[in-house]
Structure 1
Amino acid sequence: MAKKKEKVEEKLGRKEYEQELKRLHVELVKLQQWVVAKGLKVCVIFEGRDGAGKGGTIKAITERVSPRVFRVVALPAPTEREKTQMYGQRYLQHMPAAGEIVIFDRSWYNRAGVERVMGFCSEEQAHKFLNVVPLFEKMIVESGVILIKYWLEVSAQEQQRRLEERIHDGRKIWKLSPMDLKSFTRWDDYTRARDDMFAASDSSWAPWYMARSEDKRRVRLNIISHLLAQVPYDDITKDQKIELPKRGKIGRYKAAPYPFRMVEERF
């Protein structure tokens, strides 16, 4: 008997994607206004495989909102001084204050992932982190922070395609770090580290949410929709009527000549 072929999900079309993204962007603005008005503190963590689409998803979330409310934190490798600090200390200074949504493009979970797999920390350090992180996150949540954790998962085949695309696209080559190349050969090690991380840190107060990212457009819409559902909000501007005031007379002041250092008009 012939095996039944698995159904391959069709990629989401650009038109449908852009229409739905526009609608979700309106809702994100409503969320932004609500968070500011109510003084909420929201922290969103993005983790996942290299090439899983974390950066594109974060960009889709933030491209129509205020960077003063939605702050993206993408920390570089720790300095020599930071290496001597209490682990997690350098992340705490970026946690949200009232009226802020902070998005971590990778977070303290580096210790459970890349640091453990690539040998930047010992197994003992990794296990200590996994034992402590639920309590660390409970402290964060009990301080009034809404903590939301996402893991983006992609297949080995799609990951390879995306990483190869970065090599040949001058716009994306900066995304391919030497660490990505080293990590590429350790798929199973990362899978094992991911599973250990989930087992240790998936708690009732800070659960993990996994999103399949084979289709970048779908995962962006799915995550934005899910994020909006995690923070109950209302449209505080729905009853406000906004109109431009009357402009005063124009032309009373004669502007000075334009400066001579003008940008050349090539287009």
Structure 2
Amino acid sequence: MSEKKEFNKKYEKTLISLQQELVKLQEWVIQEGKKIVIIFEGRDAAGKGGTIKRVTEHLNPRHCRVVALSAPTEKEKTQWYFQRYVAHLPSAGEIVILDRSWYNRSGVEKVMGFCSDKEYINFLQTCPDFERMLISSGIQLIKYWFSVSPEEQIKRFQGRIDDPTKGWKLSPMDLESVNRWDDYSKAKDKMLEHTDTESSPWYLVESDNKKKARINCISHLLSLVEYSEVEHEEIKLPDRALTGSVERPDKSNFNYVPEAI
């Protein structure tokens, strides 16, 4: 077996094991009425979406939400900056995953000039207080930053251009970020300086290898939550009660989808 095939086999085995643990974690969250917010931030094409997909793949969507907000509306621009995110915070028994978050202000908004210097500085000063408020309200806040090298980012952007199924992932902002690598680096460093706090630390995920990044991130996530396995009563299927007395209509009366393969 080649080294690549051996790695992929190990990856799939490890991933499903971790996903089973995520299911246990969610069951505990539901039973105990816990509230968890997980922030995924990072460079464009750093692998955030792929990791989120693996985290949520086998979770109950009624108790786990992925929030990916679009640009703020004109009305939202007049509100307290954090207000539109507060509306999406979890209730008891919920996990909320933010695919980008209020940290847009210290990233794309700062670099692209979508906010004023005053708004930017105010964010850096008030964000730690906002997060302390969330934590004191009973929310467990977990923050991940996905790092990708400039070479790997270009490779992934090109992959999006070449693959018709991934073209939707490539935005004008992605293309602009190529020319603003250093600006984004400075913004990231400033963000970490002000918001990597003892009560709400950042965890950096090296993601040039997507599969390793997923395993590392999920494994670390599980280590941060002190969950326990929820006991279940044994489930037994009942015997089906078929009397044979029901007369069903002929299949020719209905429109069935034809076989395509």
Q: Secondary structure at the match of 2:66?
A: strand
Which segment is superposed worse, 92-101 or 242-251? 242-251
Tell me whether 1:185 sits opposite 2:179 in the alignment: yes
Tell me whether 1:176 sits opposite 2:170 in the alignment: yes
- How many matched pairs? 258
**1:76 corresponding residue in structure 2:** 70
**2:31 corresponding residue in structure 1:** 37
Aligned alpha-carbon RMSD (Å): 1.6
Aligned residue identity for 1:220: R
Tell me whether 1:119 sits opposite 2:113 in the alignment: yes
Aligned residue identity for 1:126: Y
Match of 2:192 among 192, 198, 221: 198
Distance 2:237 2:198 in 1: 47
**2:201 corresponding residue in structure 1:** 207
**1:246 corresponding residue in structure 2:** 239
**1:93 corresponding residue in structure 2:** 87
Q: Secondary structure at the match of 1:22?
A: helix
Which segment is superposed worse, 217-226 or 143-152? 217-226
Distance 1:59 1:12 in 2: 23
* TM superposition shift of 1:155: 0.3
**2:51 corresponding residue in structure 1:** 57
* Aligned-residue identity in percent: 53
- CA shift digits 1:146-190 (9 cap, x unpaired): 000000000000000001100010111000011111122100000
**1:5 corresponding residue in structure 2:** none
Distance 1:153 1:11 in 2: 25
Aligned residue identity for 2:159: E
Q: Secondary structure at the match of 1:210?
A: strand
Gaps of 5+ in 2: none
Tell whether the 8 Å contact from 1:44 to 1:102 is kept in structure 2 after alignment: yes
Gaps of 5+ in 1: 1-9
Instruction: Classify 1:136/1:251 alpha carbon distance in 2 versus 1 (closer, same or farther; 3 Å).
Output: same
* TM superposition shift of 1:68: 1.1
Aligned residue identity for 1:236: V
Tell me whether 1:144 sits opposite 2:138 in the alignment: yes
Tell me whether 1:255 sits opposite 2:239 in the alignment: no
Distance 2:144 2:64 in 1: 17
Which segment is superposed worse, 122-131 or 30-39? 122-131
* TM superposition shift of 1:12: 7.7
Q: Secondary structure at the match of 1:184?
A: helix
Aligned residue identity for 1:243: K
Q: Secondary structure at the match of 1:197?
A: helix
Distance 1:87 1:123 in 2: 14
Structure with the higher helix share, 1 or 2: 2
TM-score normalised by L of structure 2: 0.95
Instruction: Classify 1:11/1:105 alpha carbon distance in 2 versus 1 (closer, same or farther; 3 Å).
Output: farther
Q: Secondary structure at the match of 1:152?
A: strand
